[in-house]
A and B are shown apart, each in its own frame.
Chain A
Amino acid sequence: MLIDRVFKKTTIALPVFWLVFFAFLPFLLVFIASFLTQGDTEIFKWHFNLSNYWDLLNPIYLKVFLRSLYLAAITTVICLILAYPFAYIVARKHEKWRPILIFLLILPFWTSSLIRTYALIILIRSQGLLNKFLFMLGIIHQPIQLLYTQGAVLIGLVYSLLPFMILPLFANLEKFDWRLMEAAQDLSATKWRILSRIVIPITKPGIVAGIILVFFPAMTMFYIPNILGGVHSLLLGNLIQNQFISTHNWPMGSATSVILTLLMGIFLVVYFKLTTPKERTELMG
């Protein structure tokens, strides 16, 4: 029937067109732009070369790059350590409670992320609540200077990204067949052994998904170092932001983004190796 064919064509064409035009094309253009040179009057000069990638080996950029990797790695590890027990406990709760607990977890993230980050300043500055609290407990005797340091950036990143670690882990642990655990107990496995040999290996896709969702945003959420960090805590995201907004060196910014994409590609390959299409629910709903 004609109407069927027209309907079929439109439903396929619309999303295909949209995704090719607004997802495929932009990333392709960034890739092309990374080989161009900065123009004097215009933004790009059509002169292909690899100089942007060579320039990235400059010690200044390498320093930012290494710092980003380092901070993002610590953020990811802290998130994982905090999130795993949390997801585990919530997944073991009665079915009735789980949606409520997950709802309570997501709720704070429906408020402006900037305002929440800004509220962290009030908490961690030298006369802030954190210092007062630690002082009251007698842990410190003079206020610690956290604000505008890497520590503050770390707190901000962990706070903002924790749910992105918890949710994939929870999605994974919720499907976990707890009878496996009973079986292992019957075979007199210790708790540690059950965790390290059964639970963690089975939830590995969730762990990798969480790492992808935390590690890369941690390097690129430029507003957190902007608000909480000082001069010495600028990350890759701030570098790209500056290259695009302040110094107008777009080819260089594109090259930085391409490098980051390649790094992410490696992680995604690991994720795809670890999962079958049916299991890829952590990132694909």
Chain B
Amino acid sequence: MTGKMRHPELDSGSSKNKDLWSLFFEKVRISTALEKKSDMKRLVRFKNIFSQSIPLVYISVIYILLYIPIVVFIVYSFNNATFSAVWHGATLKWYQTLLSDTPILRVTGHSLVIATLSSTIATFLGALASFALFEYRFHGKKLIFTLIFILIVVPDLMFGIALLVLYTFLKFPLGFWSLLLAHISFCFPFVIVITLSRLKDMDKNIFEAARDLGATDLMIFIRIIFPLLLPALIAGWLLSFTLSMDDVIISFFVSGPTYQILPLYIFSLVHVGVTPEINALCTVIFGLTLLVILLGLLIPKWFFVKK
């Protein structure tokens, strides 16, 4: 066939005609086969896209479900109605009343004070503790690891009542200090875990070198560990801050009437119905959190990639 195609002039007229026909049919045959092949290809590609998109669809659905409640309270913070769940048009009035609502602002202030103080102290303690656990050998190290582990896995409720029992036995009044100590205690182990996993990645030779050059442990801590740990400390601080701002269960048991914080204030409102002002406040807090995180957490990225 191919030979004939290469030398058509060598063939006689009639056979040339016949050959033209066969050539034509051959062409048709090839092209239909090709088409079929490309159909198959398209089918396969479609099937691939389909099977590849199932996972994507799946995780998208989960993400959508996770975000729906957030969208709901953000939308309702703009709703022009006090208790109605029906949309009555957009308004900014809840944001305005929020600014003049002293009880809400007061408890928010309390929450911010507790969260800032507790996360700062917990980060400081956590940095020291992880250094001690990393560098030194001492008795009771295993006990410390066990206690950290217990504090991380134990449900908040059990820790909350345990602290309440402690305060009661010691006759320690419930209020600002009981709340602050409790918040430091439940943030502290998370900071240790974050900083310790960072320390484990570090090159121990750096400390040896510093020691050979006559640095004291305190100097090593301030001049080497602290700067290297800074991203971990920022991450630990942020985690503590959010844990503290959102804690309901532990605070429920260890706070007194003298010092109310935002989550407990919201909890007391939940049965009567959350006002749009609270939705507005939570929207503001969500926006601020987002801003802080986008600014701050782009740097210590490894925080999200658990090692």
Contacts and interface: CB of A to CB of B under 8 A. Distances in A.
Interface of A: 1, 3-4, 7-8, 10-12, 14-16, 18-20, 22-27, 29-30, 33, 43, 82, 85-86, 89-90, 92, 98-99, 101-108, 110-120, 122-123, 125, 127-129, 159, 162, 167, 170-171, 174, 212-213, 216-217, 219-223, 226-227, 237, 240-241, 244, 250, 253-254, 257, 260-261, 264, 268, 281, 283-285
Contacts of B307: 281
B104 interface: no
A90 B59 contact: yes
B162 interface: yes
Nearest to A282: B306
Contacts of A8: 132, 136, 217
A224 B305 CA distance: 30
Nearest to A88: B55
B188 interface: yes
Given A89-B59, A217-B156, A220-B155, A244 B164 contact: yes
A260 B129 CA distance: 29
B63 interface: yes
A22 B270 contact: no
A29 B263 contact: no
Contact of A99 (B140, B161, B285, B304): B304
Nearest to B152: A283
Contacts of B151: 19, 23
A12 B138 contact: yes
Contact of A110 (B62, B159, B193, B242): B242
B290 to A, nearest CB: 8
Given A82-B62, A171-B306, A118 B152 contact: no
Contacts of B62: 82, 86, 162
Given A26-B162, A112-B263, A222-B249, 18 more contacts: A3-B217, A7-B216, A11-B129, A11-B132, A15-B132, A15-B133, A22-B184, A111-B246, A111-B286, A112-B262, A113-B246, A119-B72, A120-B69, A129-B72, A159-B66, A162-B66, A221-B157, A257-B161
Interface in B266-307: 266-267, 270, 274, 278-279, 282, 285-286, 289-290, 293, 297, 301, 304-307
A281 B286 CA distance: 30
Given A4-B216, A22-B185, A285-B196, A227 B270 contact: yes
Contacts of A12: 132, 136, 138
B224 interface: no
B131 A111 contact: no
A221 B249 contact: yes
Interface in B150-170: 150-159, 161-166, 168-169
8 contacts: A11-B132, A15-B129, A113-B263, A115-B282, A118-B270, A123-B69, A125-B85, A253-B161
5 tightest A-B CB contacts, nearest first: A285-B193, A15-B129, A26-B162, A119-B69, A220-B157
Nearest to A243: B161
Contact of B278 (A98, A115, A260): A115
Nearest to B127: A11
A60 B83 CA distance: 37
Interface stretch (B8-16, B21-29, B112-120, B141-149): B141-149
Nearest to B188: A18
B27 to A, nearest CB: 41
B256 to A, nearest CB: 13
Contacts of B249: 220-223
Nearest to B157: A220
B50 interface: no
A119 B73 contact: yes
Contacts of B279: 115
Contacts, number: 244
Interface of B: 55-56, 58-59, 62-63, 65-70, 72-73, 76, 85, 125, 128-129, 131-133, 136, 138, 140, 143-144, 147-159, 161-166, 168-169, 181-182, 184-185, 188, 192-194, 196-197, 216-218, 221, 242, 245-246, 248-249, 252-253, 262-263, 266-267, 270, 274, 278-279, 282, 285-286, 289-290, 293, 297, 301, 304-307
Nearest to A277: B145
Chain A at the B interface: SS class: helix
Contacts of B128: 10-11, 14-15
A129 B87 CA distance: 12
Contacts of B152: 283-284
A24 B58 CA distance: 43
Nearest to A217: B155
A114 B63 CA distance: 19
B286 A114 contact: no
Contact of B216 (A3, A90, A219, A283): A3
Nearest to A268: B153
Contact of B185 (A18, A104, A108, A213): A18
B153 to A, nearest CB: 6
Contacts of B67: 108
Contacts of A237: 155, 157
Contacts of A27: 150, 158, 162
B72 A122 contact: yes
A237 to B, nearest CB: 5
